[in-house]
Amino acid sequence: MKVKETNLYELLKTKEIIAILNGDKKYSTYEFGDGSTVPIAMPYLSGPDLCGVSTLFGLPMSYSWGKDAKNLSRCQYLDNLMKYCMKHNRCSDLLAYLFGKEQFAKMLSGHGVDEINAAYRHITTEIIQEINGMLYFGGNELTVIGNRFIVRAIGSKVEVQVPQIKSIDREYIKSISGRAMQDVEQQNFDSAITKSRTLLEETFCYLIEKKDETPSDSGDIGKLYKQVRTLYNMHTDGNTDRRIKTLLSGLNNIVSAIAEMRNKDSDAHGVGSNRIHIDEHHARLFVNSAMTMADFILSVEIKANNTP
């Protein structure tokens, strides 16, 4: 009987590989031109980080503090998330997220663009080679084809199936926004900002894929929004009322602000001198702005495709 490709992701659920993916395992160091070094390792994911990633992928998890808090181990959080992603055929998406350049921002910041790109390529290549060293004697390997992370038999050809477009509707938008607002109520403003940014990214990607196109850069929501505007010919009609154009021009500012705040103040990066203070009313504004923007963009798709 032929083993389904998705079952091979089970091979990544060993204690050793999970320790690599959650940032516990460090190898040698990478040296920049100025002599500074960073470890060759995945970004460290704390318990709250892993709960945030789980929630982003549709598996709601929360982290508690205090002496009576009962949290899972970091390995258990990641193991449960991988099980969930295997069930929903999203293991490749999870690996793409974990290996995304954006996740390495804290580790690699402070250097030039070329140096950052070179370091990122070197570190991720080394990590994948280490994982493949563990898979080798079983005759398997982890490989990257396009933007897909595939576990396959060594040397075999894999026909990458185009993933089914994740359904995004107004109920989904309300659900994610509701979770983000719960974060605000709990004073977890960083997590609220992360969810706001992710909501826009997922909505933009959804519209792009509905046009049978590939998102240009899932790590840059500004580029994604530009791609959406182009694909859906948004507001290119010269007869559009000036007041509507003025209102819609504010959408660019919403996208830019949320993208920038995600880089400077989200829970994906550590506390630093460049982080600014976020008040509750600011976090509420971000959540509500992202929800409004996502709802509007979804309406554009509904009108374009005449869907109910």
One domain for residues 50 and 179? no
One domain for residues 84 and 149? yes
The structure tokens listed for 278 are: 């976020």
Instruction: Compute the mean pLDDT over every residue in the chain, rounded to the nearest whole number.
Output: 82
List helix spans (H) across the chain.
15-21, 47-56, 74-87, 91-98, 105-108, 113-135, 170-185, 189-210, 221-231, 242-265, 280-305
Asked whether residue 290 is domain-assigned, the answer is yes
- Global model pTM greater than 0.85: no
Cα–Cα distances (Å) from 115 to 4, 38, 109, 123, 168, in that order, read 39, 12, 10, 12, 37
One domain for residues 134 and 208? no
One domain for residues 55 and 119? yes
- The yes-or-no verdict on residue 219 having pLDDT over 70 is no
Of the three residues 91, 126, 153, the one that is the final residue of a domain is 153
- The yes-or-no verdict on residue 172 having pLDDT over 80 is yes
Q: How does pLDDT run across 247-306, given as a tens digit for each residue?
A: 777 777 877 777 676 554 444 434 443 445 678 898 899 899 899 999 999 998 888 876
Of the three residues 107, 125, 153, the one that is the final residue of a domain is 153
Q: Could you tell me which residues come within 8 angstroms of residue 269 by beta carbon, excluding any fewer than 6 positions away?
A: 105, 106, 263
Cβ contact 52:176 at 8 Å? no
One domain for residues 56 and 186? no
Residue-level pLDDT at 268: 43
One domain for residues 101 and 33? yes
Tell me what percent of the residues of the chain surpass a pLDDT of 90.
31
Cα–Cα distances (Å) from 193 to 56, 75, 205, in that order, read 12, 25, 19
Q: How confident is the model at residue 166 (pLDDT cuts 50, 70, 90)?
A: low
Residue-level pLDDT at 267: 44
One domain for residues 28 and 105? yes
Asked whether residue 164 is domain-assigned, the answer is no
- Number of domains comprising the chain: 2
Q: How many residues does the chain have?
A: 308
Least confident of 45-49, 64-68, 72-76, 106-110: 64-68
One domain for residues 176 and 148? no
One domain for residues 148 and 286? no
Q: How confident is the model at residue 40 (pLDDT cuts 50, 70, 90)?
A: very high
Asked whether residue 278 is domain-assigned, the answer is yes
pLDDT (average), residues 100-107: 89
Asked whether residue 48 is domain-assigned, the answer is yes
Q: Which domain holds residue 250?
A: 170-305
CATH number for position 270:
1.20.120
Q: Is 44 helix (H, G, I), strand (E, B) or coil?
A: coil
Asked whether residue 165 is domain-assigned, the answer is no
